[in-house]
Amino acid sequence: MKDLIQKIKKFEPPKEKRFLHTLYDGFFTFLFTPNHVTSDVPGVHIRDRMDLKRTMVMVVLALQLCYLFGTYNIGHQHFLAIGEHTAFLDAIHLKIAYGLIKILPIFIVAHVVGLGIEFYYAARKGHPIEEGYLVTGALIPLIMPPDIPLWILAVSIVFAVVIGKEAFGGTGMNVVNIALLTRLFVFFAYPTTISGDQCWVAGIDYSGAQAVTETYGWAHHAFDWLFNGLGLSTFGDGGIAVTDAFTGATPLALATKGWAEVTAVYSPAEMFWGTIPGSVGETSKPLIILGLLMLLATGIASWRIVIGGILGAVFMTLVLNAWEFDVYMQIPWYYHFYMGSFWFAIAFMATDPVTASGTNVGKWIYGFSIGVLGILIRVMNLAYPEGWMLAIIFMNVFAPLIDYFVVQGNIKRRAKRTAVAA
């Protein structure tokens, strides 16, 4: 391995060529551990193998189950809408192929655009490329609808990375979560692409009197050539009318009319396992929880934020249950965990160590406030039936203030104890 490293080092561009040197350094440190180590001399040095790169990689690994299921569910929801291969394990090859055709362009655009901006700013500032965008680039495809227009995605990423991150100094300096800021920009700038009932199932054309599948393209026909040779079912030409039983509405949209309306379309088991329309990676609760457990076990995610978020959501739901102003408020607290993206938000967004509170007491307050605000927005604002994005970004802004008051409170208590002892 050392010989390989030495051979690669021979091709290192000079530092005068900023962009090429930055590009080379970024790929080199991605493949190999940087040789910056703490001194062996006894002292106050901290020695830990968990550097920024390893931290980012662990989060990306925790997301992989969401990617696998999300890719398959894109295809499953598409065929379910047209009434073909309706059983979950029917035509597995077609559903995987369809999901890959949809998610790969989103994944590529998210990384090419975001990393391109990172490389540019690193070269301009003359510092090494940081690994912070690895997690952001992995999160963005999972919180988008499967049919998000790629140009809208690109514009949104440029806004989020430049305004939300680089303007504040780069990795570790951003005030709000960059992936959520990307989604926020899409929601307010192009709301029809990420809200309503017509964006959560891929490949459906709603322009005519009856919704039909869009005509399959060259990528689908390339798979058809392979599947036909293997004697498997194929995509065909598309243009198939959507069945009357199909609804593009998510459980949250149906919940505004009461829990009975939700269960008339989706069973609790379907909502729990995630075989429902929604953002690419936010539907399967068990797989998200597995990823969360991995982050908790490695110490990357804070259990205080997670537990605080759960308690906050339960508390706010019980308050609304007691009020019973409308049918949405009457939905029991535990059913709220079946719907929407609470688990994904609290696992991978709220626990972001850069934008969350840093003190232990602050983490409890931060997590609890997210749970309260998320449920409050979800239930009270019918124009926006999911509240976790706004709740987390709002609390991102207040996280430093929370930590400030926690620290000041600790200082005052210690000062009083000192005064008493004196």
Q: How many structural domains are present in the chain?
A: 2
Residue 23: the pLDDT is 55
d(CA 213, CA 63): 30
Ramachandran region, residue 206 (left: φ > 0; alpha: ψ -120 to 50; beta: rest): alpha
Crossing angle of helices 52-62 and 64-81, rounded to 10°: 30
Q: Does position 10 have pLDDT exceeding 70, yes or no?
A: no
Structure tokens at 341: 């993206």
- Residue 274 pLDDT class (50, 70, 90 cuts): very high
Q: Is residue 68 part of a domain?
A: no
**CA torsion, ordered 182, 276, 309, 307, to nearest 10 deg:** -130
Q: Is residue 57 part of a domain?
A: no
Domain interval for residue 6 = 2-31
Average pLDDT taken over every residue of the chain: 87
Residue 40: the pLDDT is 54
Residue 382: the pLDDT is 76
Burial code of 335-373, b = ≥16 C-beta within 10 A, e = fewer?
bbbbbbbbbbbbbbbbbbebbbbbbebbbbbbbbbbbbb
Tell me the pLDDT tens digit for each residue of 189-223: 999 999 888 899 999 998 888 899 989 999 999 99
Question: Is residue 79 helix, strand or coil?
Answer: helix
- Cβ atoms of 37 and 51 within 8 Å: the answer is no
- DSSP type of residue 355: T
Q: Is residue 412 part of a domain?
A: yes
183-187 average pLDDT score: 94
Question: Is residue 136 helix, strand or coil?
Answer: helix
Q: Is residue 372 part of a domain?
A: yes
Q: Is residue 262 part of a domain?
A: no
- Residue 124 pLDDT class (50, 70, 90 cuts): confident
The fraction of the chain above a pLDDT of 70, given in percent, is 86
Q: Is residue 307 part of a domain?
A: yes
Q: Does position 349 have pLDDT exceeding 60, yes or no?
A: yes
With vertex at residue 88, the alpha carbon angle to CA 86 and CA 94, rounded to the nearest 5 degrees, is 75
Residue 49: the pLDDT is 52
Question: Is residue 212 helix, strand or coil?
Answer: strand
Q: Is residue 83 part of a domain?
A: no
Of 250, 271, 262, nearest to 330 by C-alpha is: 262
Distance of CA 331 to the CA centre of its chain: 26
Lowest mean pLDDT among 130-134, 299-303, 379-383: 130-134
Tell me the pLDDT tens digit for each residue of 88-107: 999 999 999 999 999 999 99
Tell me the pLDDT tens digit for each residue of 216-262: 999 999 999 999 999 999 999 888 999 887 888 899 989 988 899 99
Q: Is residue 128 part of a domain?
A: no
d(CA 39, CA 313): 46
Q: How many helices (H) and strands (E) does the chain have?
A: 18, 2
Report the run of H or E that residue 298 belongs to, with start and end.
none
- Cβ atoms of 224 and 215 within 8 Å: the answer is no
Structure tokens at 58: 């662990």
